[in-house]
Amino acid sequence: MIAIPLDRKESTVISKLYGNSPYFALLNEETGSFKIVKNEGCGDGIETAKFISSHKVDSTIFFHMGEGIYNFFQEKGLKVYSCVKSYLSIDEIYRQYLSKKCKEVTKSNCSTLLDSGTTSCSCSSK
């Protein structure tokens, strides 16, 4: 299962936010189906990471992600992918995953792919 941050429950395009993302799509990488869940850790990166981890996902993708969240996922054994600042739809992420074109973040490339993103939270307005 791949966790994809979303701005709105109805959205099908990755959010710029991660820890402040109000919703996540949980994409089944075998079937392409997904379900939307409300981010119970919204507003706190580590709490969001814990929330995602509790949903038994094995990977996630981001637009902006800080080092703390990345390190948490590494400790839990989750793969982390970058959309490389592209607004990808859930379908595009699924196709890239199947064709092995997703950019995996590793210790050797994390300094160029990770950043803190924005600090504006959209949790309370949704």
Q: What would the pLDDT profile of 15-67 be if each residue is shown by its tens digit?
A: 999 999 999 999 999 999 999 999 999 999 999 999 999 998 999 999 999 99
pLDDT band at residue 122 using 50, 70 and 90 as cut-offs:
very low
Cα 123 off chain centre by: 15
Q: What is the residue type of 26?
A: L
Span 110-125, average pLDDT: 63
So what's the pLDDT on residue 120? 47
How far apart CA 66 and CA 119 sit, in angstroms, is 11
Model confidence, pTM? 0.90
Per-domain boundaries in the chain: 2-113
Give the fold, CATH level 3, of 2-113: Nucleotidyltransferase; domain 5 (3.30.420)
pLDDT tens sequence across 60-95? 999 999 999 999 999 999 999 999 999 999 999 999
